[in-house]
């Protein structure tokens, strides 16, 4: 090695079932996850490691599926519980049904589980719209000059996925009695 050259990196260790379990546990310690999302995370890790080692990642897909199945059997991953918790959180933050459906579908929650979670969760679209308006200081939560910003406030709620009639009632309405 001559001056100025970086030392050669050793290739990473091979992918093993123990490595996959450790990676899954490390991820699940930090984040709640659906089974499909955990599968995606593990596949990304395997693909990266295999790319660096010059191996075929397809050989490890069965091992990934086994780790995900084991996480499901032990209760570490439960799509129903995950969907219920995420729906409740997103509703409190002001998420529309449309936005929640898109976010959870992107995380790999199947349509049936998602529909059940949306029905079981507080499906009050109006309350979610008010929560978003409160958080972003739109409509009745605006300090002054509500009329000048009405169209922009309506557009903000529409971009968040709320139907026009819900957005209009939220923006044109008054502060709820418990918030005055």
- The string of pLDDT tens digits covering residues 16-36 is 899 999 999 999 999 999 999
pLDDT score recorded for residue 122: 63
Domain of residue 99 covers: 79-120
Q: What is the mean pLDDT of residues 68-95?
A: 93
pLDDT score recorded for residue 129: 93
Least confident of 6-10, 137-141, 157-161: 6-10
State pTM to two decimals: 0.80
4 burial level (CB within 10 Å; 0-12, 13-18, 19+): exposed
Whether residue 89 is found in the same domain as residue 112: yes
Q: What is the mean pLDDT of residues 41-57?
A: 91
Whether residue 130 is found in the same domain as residue 105: no
Whether residue 142 is found in the same domain as residue 174: yes
Residue 7 lies in a domain: no
Split into its structural domains, the chain has a count of 3
Whether residue 47 is found in the same domain as residue 34: yes
Residue 23 tokens, joined: 């990676």
Compare 7 and 54 and report the one with higher pLDDT. Answer: 54
Q: To the nearest whole number, what is the mean pLDDT of the chain?
A: 89
Q: By the 8 A CB rule, do 125 and 97 touch?
A: yes
């Amino acid at each position: 090695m001559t001056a100025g050259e970086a030392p050669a990196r050793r290739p990473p260790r091979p992918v093993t079932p123990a490595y996959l379990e450790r990676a899954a546990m490390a991820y699940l310690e930090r984040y709640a996850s659906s089974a499909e999302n955990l599968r995606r995370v593990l596949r990304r890790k395997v693909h990266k490691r295999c790319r660096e080692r010059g191996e075929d990642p397809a050989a490890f897909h069965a091992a990934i599926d086994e780790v995900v199945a084991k996480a499901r059997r032990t209760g570490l991953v439960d799509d129903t519980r995950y969907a219920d918790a995420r729906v409740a959180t997103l509703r409190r933050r002001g998420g529309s049904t449309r936005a929640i459906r898109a976010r959870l579908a992107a995380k790999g929650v199947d349509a049936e589980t998602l529909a059940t979670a949306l029905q079981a969760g507080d499906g009050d679209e109006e309350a979610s719209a008010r929560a978003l308006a409160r958080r972003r200081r739109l409509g009745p939560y605006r300090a002054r000059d509500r009329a000048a910003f009405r169209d922009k406030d309506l557009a903000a709620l529409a971009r968040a996925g709320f139907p026009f009639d819900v957005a209009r009632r939220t923006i044109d309405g008054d502060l709820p009695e418990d918030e005055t």
